[in-house]
Amino acid sequence: IFMAIEGSQEKALPVKEIYAWIVQHFPYFKTAPTGWKNSVRHNLSLNKSFVKVEKAPVCIHLLGKFLGI
């Protein structure tokens, strides 16, 4: 998760883009049961290294993004 966020230009990604990054960089997840997505969401919500970034008025694309601190 950290690698995906840190590799993004804005240092923040929507959950869907985190999933896509993981699938692209770790081919196992292309065919793995979808339970791993629950693990990603669980880590984003409970790990204090990640915070939700609220929608900025001029940056609509930031809605629902997470940022690694």
Q: Which residue has the higher pLDDT, 45 or 66?
A: 45
Among 14, 66, 20, smallest CA distance to 44 is for: 66
State the pTM of this model.
Answer: 0.76
Segment 11-61, tens digit of pLDDT? 888 899 999 999 999 999 999 998 999 999 999 999 988 888 876 554 444
- In this structure, the number of other CB atoms found within 10 A of the CB of residue 18 comes to 24
- Residue-level pLDDT at 62: 46
Q: pLDDT-derived band of residue 68, with 50, 70 and 90 as boundaries?
A: low
